[in-house]
Amino acid sequence: MALVDRFERVHDYLRISVTDRCNLRCVYCMPAEGMQFLDESEVMTDDEIVGIVKAGAELGIRKLRITGGEPTVRKNLVELVERLAAIPGIEDIALTTNGMTLREQAHALKRAGISRLNLSLDSMKPEAFQAITRHGDYVRVWRGLEAAIEAGFSPIKLNVVLVKGFNETEIVEFIRLTKEWPLIVRFIEYMPIGQDADQWRARYVPLTQVFEEAKAAGLTLEAGDQVRGNGPAEYFRVPGFAGQIGLIHPVSDHFCATCNRLRLTADGKLKPCLYWEDEVSVRDCAHDPEKLKELFYRALKLKPEKHEMARAGELLENGLTPTWRAMSQIGG
């Protein structure tokens, strides 16, 4: 059996939000205040997550990504990862984190079964970093990155969401970071999720600016190597540099035709598309493998051929609501 949707896309990748809580309040992910978090009783237990993943693995899920919120604030995350890594059929587990507690957890997470790591680092200027995250500690995150390198995660990808007025002037600095460090710096378009039209439009930076800034700085970007992972990034490198850069443009050039992923929210909903409201509740069936398999297929039937993010401004202005969850609630 395989998870194939009506558009012949094979799904072997499940992104799991293990919590909707976070120790930061990044401007593109979560409002500064007024966020309503799930009660602890509303968040899936370890047993429920494991049960859902086991059913998915029997249908062909092979790769997992642990997300949040901030996944490292979940209690006993290491033990959960160990259990997920032991599920027959699961071949790869990655983690997306803001790095705030990574220095303390990197080695334990690596031993538990996390092989790849994405770290959100939207600025290398402490003041700008604090402004974007609303109270993040840049030095603490950098120490977490060093610990991740020491622990042996490979590859390590730095996620940089470009936000006008916050970090768009640092593009060249991030590219130059790959000169000595074997990192993958991924520039990501700011997505209109949980935003009003004016706010999104005012902050959006097209990724064509990456090429413009590189050219102005005398840096030549050539096609890069394909990087192990499940993401939609297009890779480039500066000749002679140790690392690469990636571009992810869900707004200006969507990658729906090759989408291979489903999302599991922290409260136990299977979400077939990041940018749409349709979802299927699976938590109540977490210990019923056959029913879970039915629900996986039900979620696939809801998956659209493509999302409408490129028309985001028009949709929002016309009062349409592509998704009602904030990014922190979906898991990115």
CA dihedral sign, ordered 106, 110, 112, 115: positive
Q: Was 263 annotated as part of a binding site?
A: yes
Terminal CA-CA length for the chain? 27
Do 120 and 102 contact (CB within 8 A), yes or no? Answer: no
Q: Was 15 annotated as part of a binding site?
A: yes
Residue-averaged pLDDT of the chain: 90
Q: Was 259 annotated as part of a binding site?
A: yes
pTM of the model: 0.90
What ranges do the domains of the chain cover?
13-330
Q: Was 28 annotated as part of a binding site?
A: yes
Decide yes or no: CATH 3.40.50.620 for domain 13-330: no
Q: What is the mean predicted confidence (pLDDT) over 34-63?
A: 96
Q: Was 115 annotated as part of a binding site?
A: no
Q: What is the mean predicted confidence (pLDDT) over 225-248?
A: 88
How is the beta sheet containing 244-248 ordered, strand by strand?
A: 222-223, 234-237, 244-248, 184-188, 156-161, 116-120, 92-97, 63-67, 13-17, 261-264, 269-271, 280-281
Q: Which residue would you say has higher pLDDT here, 187 or 258? A: 187
Q: What is the mean predicted confidence (pLDDT) over 50-61?
A: 99
Closest CA to 21 of 2, 37, 4, 44: 37
Query: How many whole angstroms separate alpha carbon 309 and alpha carbon 232?
Result: 15
Q: Was 29 annotated as part of a binding site?
A: yes
273-285 per-position pLDDT tens digit: 887 788 999 999 9
Q: Was 120 annotated as part of a binding site?
A: yes
- Does the pLDDT at position 329 exceed 60? no
Q: Was 69 annotated as part of a binding site?
A: yes
Q: Was 285 annotated as part of a binding site?
A: no
Q: Was 101 annotated as part of a binding site?
A: no
Query: How many whole angstroms separate alpha carbon 285 and alpha carbon 247?
Result: 38
Q: Was 176 annotated as part of a binding site?
A: no
- Does the pLDDT at position 69 exceed 70? yes
